[in-house]
Amino acid sequence: MRRGSVCLGLVLMLWVTPGIAQTVSSIHVVPVVAHTTGAGDPPTYWLSDLTIHNPNESAVTVAVAFGAEGVENRFEQITPVILQIAAGSTLAYEDVLASLFEVTDNLKGVLLIDAGYIYSLGNPPGTGVLVTSRTYNTGDPRGTFGQTVPSASLSMNFTDASSIVTGARFDDRYRSNLGIVNVSPESVLIYWEAFDADGQSIGSGSKTMLAFSMGQWSFSDLGIGSQQGPITLRLWMDSANVTPDPCATLFANGFIAYVSKVDGNPNGTGDGELLQAVPMSVPGCWLDELF
């Protein structure tokens, strides 16, 4: 990603107010959006909504780009949808993959929402917007059950340190999925390891992630056995893929990780919860810009 967006728009809020799920930034990454049929009894049917708010005193232009799961999506080859947002107004898209990208098949992926750092949009430097999303199951007659998916820009990891996520469950009530998003302009290798409540390793592996792509895997498919109690995962990028000085290059390699925990294994409401992995370190130059 571009240096300016990482240094100012993303990392500032990570260190000053790490508990905030929404932030005004020039660039946002929604780690997963879906138009899919999932597991469960009854079956789950997942859709994603997208909301973008313009808090500025003038209109802004925003680019929304979609990177499909499991395929290479190079930034220079992606044609974004261009949106105009009036001052103080909010745009909302139900089933965003269908409404903005005409997706009708079983598909999920990652969204990039940019107000001018990657794409040339004519906005003043530093223009920011507020973004959130919701992915929900429409397969229950009682209503939709789902999870807020805020921008994960604060969870980007551009170093060789770990990202950690806790609170996952895999038992007779809940099932969980591990998601990894590559925000790099090239393929990267991401390692993962899972731990039980006592800190004992219960599974490990790696995933090669293509450029600006995401993947999501059930714990069962990863070989993580059913556990009573919370599960914690640690993820890290292969040292050969880490950009030596992320602040000295236009694009740096990085990733985002999350866990989607769902009520229903297989019986349940299909109610989901998204847990974002937190990077344990950021480049030192980013701290220099903060203080």
Q: Which residues of 110-119 are buried (b: 16+ CB within 10 A; e: fewer)?
A: bbbbbbbbbb
Which neighbouring-strand residues pair with 34?
108
Indicate whether this model's pTM tops 0.85.
no
Confidence of residue 291 (pLDDT cuts 50, 70, 90): very low
Confidence of residue 191 (pLDDT cuts 50, 70, 90): very high
Q: Find out whether 211 and 217 touch, Cβ atoms under 8 Å.
A: no
Q: How far is CA 160 from CA 108, 183, 191, 226, 253, in A?
A: 28, 15, 11, 29, 10
Q: How many domains does the chain have?
A: 1
Confidence of residue 230 (pLDDT cuts 50, 70, 90): very high
How confident is the model over 134-152, as pLDDT tens digits? 988 776 656 566 667 777 7
Residue 201 has pLDDT above 50, yes or no: yes
Mean pLDDT for the chain overall: 84
Eight-state DSSP code of residue 241: G
The predicted model gives 24-47 an average pLDDT of 84
Tell me, what CATH number does 156's domain have? 2.60.290.11
Poorest-pLDDT segment among 61-75, 79-93, 150-164, 184-198: 150-164
Write out the residue range of the structural domain in which residue 226 sits: 3-290
Percent of the chain as helix, strand, coil, to the nearest 5: 15, 45, 40
